[in-house]
């Protein structure tokens, strides 16, 4: 008799359901991880709405915290029963893309057709959980290339403390890193959802001394100040671009981080920049973007626009957990709700409609 587990699967646009699936078999380079906590991401909502296509029947989710249940024969240096996380992005670090410095864009899309995943480049293909392979909103998840992707959780850290590391902390910090922040910089962060809040915290850690957080939700703006924002702007009550220019004496911000994925926030981020400034884009866009000629200085303004998919791998996860363990940052404040896996459909409804002050939901199988 095949052992089964509960898993949340994509059925069709508008429908994610809990069902029973076989517990995965473990290959030589894999690890089977028993999920103790996972969560729902904004990208999962794009999947739910049909804005990002995945195969029907795929287990969704990409943020695993758990315990090693079984190790593949080639995986060394880990123990069954060990608490671990894995990045939302779990590339093959032996691929051409990884050795070219872009592991998140590797050749994993080739594997289902029986070809070698070390070859080929494709945007987002390093993101496998809940995209190319079964994800983490389940009782178990199979971690591929486990030797490179599993990161032990330091003693003393709770699931909730490290829950942000696999995706939103890594993504938000990458947004700050891609903004080329220098000591003393002024940085504007558009949208203070979970990723934007992590970008705000990352900007502070990287040395920005004036961080301007932009959102339309007073609760989120309050949290942004706790995580490092010096100034918070409610776009409902001010012209954000005018206010940034006033605050910078007409100079413009050194960097702007766009963490929502809309034409409005992208354009405002560009308009806030000084000549030579950097726009770091983290948004998942569902429509074509338009770059206004004047804001782009007709292409002559020495602006930089950087995009990113969050880095994965055990070293990235180790560094992020070090930040938490050293008490440089506490992201437990972002976990606003707790749900059992049995109730994940209700959790999706709450998160998709952004009710009750929700930021992140801790989903626990038991």
Taken in order 325, 326, 327, 333, the sign of the CA dihedral is negative
Q: What is the pTM of this model?
A: 0.94
| Contact present, 64 and 90 (Cβ < 8 Å) | no
Q: In whole angstroms, what is the distance from residue 102 CA to residue 97 CA?
A: 5
Q: In whole angstroms, what is the distance from residue 164 CA to residue 317 CA?
A: 10
Residue 170 CB partners (closer than 8 Å, separation 6+): 87, 88, 89, 310, 311, 312, 316, 317, 320
Task: Quick: pLDDT tens for 93-120.
Answer: 988 999 999 999 988 888 888 888 888 8
| Contact present, 179 and 306 (Cβ < 8 Å) | yes
- Residue 117 in tokens: 């995943």
- Residue 358 in tokens: 């929700």
Residue 76 CB partners (closer than 8 Å, separation 6+): 147
Which pLDDT does position 320 carry in this prediction? 98
Which positions of the chain have pLDDT values less than 50?
none
- Residue 235 in tokens: 């776009």
Angle ∠(98,103,105) on CA atoms, nearest 5: 120
Which pLDDT does position 248 carry in this prediction? 98
Which pLDDT does position 272 carry in this prediction? 97
Q: In whole angstroms, what is the distance from residue 244 CA to residue 251 CA?
A: 9
Q: Is 249 left (phi over 0), alpha (psi -120 to 50) or beta?
A: left
Q: In whole angstroms, what is the distance from residue 189 CA to residue 215 CA?
A: 9
Which pLDDT does position 118 carry in this prediction? 85
Torsions phi, psi for 331 (to 5 deg): -95, 5
Indicate the burial class of 110 (C-beta count within 10 angstroms; 0-12, 13-18, 19 or more).
Answer: middle
Which pLDDT does position 108 carry in this prediction? 86
Which pLDDT does position 114 carry in this prediction? 86
Task: Quick: pLDDT tens for 212-245.
Answer: 999 999 999 999 999 999 999 999 999 999 999 9
Which pLDDT does position 357 carry in this prediction? 92
| Contact present, 194 and 71 (Cβ < 8 Å) | no
Which pLDDT does position 329 carry in this prediction? 95
Q: In whole angstroms, what is the distance from residue 182 CA to residue 188 CA?
A: 14
Which pLDDT does position 240 carry in this prediction? 98
Residue 300 CB partners (closer than 8 Å, separation 6+): none
Which pLDDT does position 117 carry in this prediction? 83
Distances (CA, A) of 172 to 31, 95, 219, 226, 364: 27, 25, 19, 16, 24
């Amino acid at each position: 008799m095949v052992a089964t587990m509960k898993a949340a699967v994509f059925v069709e646009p508008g429908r994610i359901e809990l069902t029973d699936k076989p517990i995965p078999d473990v290959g030589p380079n894999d690890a089977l991880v028993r999920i103790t906590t996972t969560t729902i991401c904004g990208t999962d909502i794009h999947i739910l709405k049909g804005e990002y296509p995945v195969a029907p029947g795929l287990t969704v989710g990409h943020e695993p915290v758990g315990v090693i249940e079984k190790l593949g024969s080639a995986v060394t240096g880990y123990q069954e029963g060990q608490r671990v996380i894995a990045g939302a992005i779990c590339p093959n670090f032996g691929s051409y893309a990884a050795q070219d410095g872009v592991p998140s864009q590797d050749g994993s899309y080739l594997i289902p057709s029986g070809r070698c995943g070390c070859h080929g480049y494709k945007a987002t293909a390093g993101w496998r959980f809940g995209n190319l392979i079964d994800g983490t909103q389940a009782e178990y998840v199979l971690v591929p290339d486990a030797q490179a992707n599993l990161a032990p959780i330091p003693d003393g850290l709770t699931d909730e403390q490290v829950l942000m590391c696999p995706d939103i902390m890594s993504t938000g910090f990458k947004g700050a890193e891609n903004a080329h922040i220098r000591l003393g910089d002024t940085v504007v962060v558009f949208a203070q959802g979970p990723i934007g809040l992590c970008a705000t915290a990352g900007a502070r850690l990287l040395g920005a001394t004036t961080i301007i957080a932009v959102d339309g939700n007073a609760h989120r703006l309050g949290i942004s100040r706790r995580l490092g924002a010096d100034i918070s702007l409610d776009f409902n009550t001010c012209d954000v671009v005018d206010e940034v220019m006033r605050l910078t004496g007409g100079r413009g911000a050194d960097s702007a981080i766009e963490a929502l994925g809309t034409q409005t926030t992208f354009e405002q981020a560009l308009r806030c920049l000084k000549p030579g400034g950097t726009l770091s884009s983290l948004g998942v866009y569902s429509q074509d973007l338009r770059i206004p000629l004047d804001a782009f200085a007709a292409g002559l303004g020495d602006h930089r626009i950087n995009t990113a998919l969050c880095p994965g791998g055990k070293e990235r996860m180790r560094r992020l957990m070090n930040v938490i363990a050293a008490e440089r940052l506490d992201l437990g404040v972002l976990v606003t709700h707790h749900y059992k896996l049995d109730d994940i459909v209700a959790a999706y409804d709450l998160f998709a409609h952004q009710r009750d002050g929700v930021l992140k939901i801790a989903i626990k199988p038991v």
